[in-house]
Amino acid sequence: IKFMLGGNFSKYVISPEVYYDSFWNDYTYEISSKKGFLLGAGIEFNLARNISFEIDALYLQKGTKAHKSYSLLEIYVAPRKYTLHVISIPLLLNIKFLSGSSPYVLGGGEFSFILSHGYTSVLDGRTGDRISIKEFTQSFDYGLVIGGGFEVKMEATSFFIEGRYYHGLRNIIKGSIDWESTKITSVALILGFKI
C-alpha cells in the first residue's frame, strides 16, 4: 500500500484559438497554469521482478487561469480562476531499472469523477464570489499518464518522489460545438511512502 501527497499544476487546452461573440468581435483566451494539491493512496501488484501494476485513488484540485482578450475592442474582462475538484483513478504500469532503491518509469490511463467546477473573477486585486458551472461540465474525464520517479527502499518501508504528466482526452464542457473543446493537462509532483 502506498500513500501520496503533492502538488498539481494544471491548465485547460482550449480550441479553437480565436472565438467570436454575437457581434462578430474576435477574442482569445490567455491561459496559464493554476496550482492545486493532491492526496491519496494506491495498491501495487507485482507482475514480474521489476514490473508492477498500480491502482490509485486520488483527490486532486485541477483548473486554470484564463483572461479573455479582444483583439480590436478596448474591453477589459476580469481574469478568472477556474477550479475542478476531482476523484481520480489512475491505472499504471511501473517499470523499475534496478532491484532495491531504483529510478522507475510509469505509464497508463486515468479516469476522473468531476465533483465540482467553478470560477472566481479577480478585479483590482480582489477575488469575487465563486460561480458554479457544474451544470455545464461533464461528470467525468479521462486521459493518458506518463511519468517517472525514484524509490528509496528501507527495511520495513520505502519512500519515493515522483512526477506525472496527465493529458486529457475528453472535452469537459457539455453542449460544445464539434470544433470547440476544453481539455485538461496537468503536471503532478508527488512525495509518498509504501508499507
CATH number, domain containing residue 31: 2.40.160
Q: What is the mean pLDDT of residues 121-135?
A: 86
Query: What is the value of pTM for the model shown?
Result: 0.89
pLDDT band of residue 140 (cuts 50, 70, 90) is very high
Q: How confident is the model over 116-127, as pLDDT tens digits?
A: 999 998 777 778
Give me the domain span that covers residue 172. Answer: 2-194
Radius of gyration of the chain from its Cα atoms, rounded to whole angstroms: 20
Better-scored residue on pLDDT, 21 or 173: 173
Q: 114, 84 in Cβ contact below 8 A?
A: yes
Percent share of the chain, pLDDT over 70: 89
At residue 95, the pLDDT reads: 98
At residue 22, the pLDDT reads: 56
Per-residue pLDDT for 155 more than 60? yes
State how many domains the chain has.
1
Give the chain's mean pLDDT: 90
pLDDT band of residue 18 (cuts 50, 70, 90) is low
Q: 154, 160 in Cβ contact below 8 A?
A: no
At residue 187, the pLDDT reads: 98
Q: 167, 143 in Cβ contact below 8 A?
A: yes
pLDDT band of residue 101 (cuts 50, 70, 90) is very high
pLDDT band of residue 193 (cuts 50, 70, 90) is very high
At residue 14, the pLDDT reads: 85
Q: How confident is the model over 21-80, as pLDDT tens digits?
A: 556 567 677 889 999 999 999 999 999 999 999 999 999 999 999 887 776 666 667 788
Determine the Cα–Cα distance for residues 110 and 89; give it in Å rounded to an integer: 6
Determine the Cα–Cα distance for residues 138 and 141; give it in Å rounded to an integer: 7
At residue 185, the pLDDT reads: 98
Residue corresponding to grid cell 504500469: 93
Exposure class string for 171-188: b at 16+ Cβ within 10 A, else e:
ebbeeeeeeebbbbbbeb
Q: How confident is the model over 78-87, as pLDDT tens digits?
A: 788 999 999 9
Per-residue pLDDT for 177 more than 60? yes
Please provide the DSSP assignment of 114-135 as one string: EEEEEEEEEETTEE---EE-GG
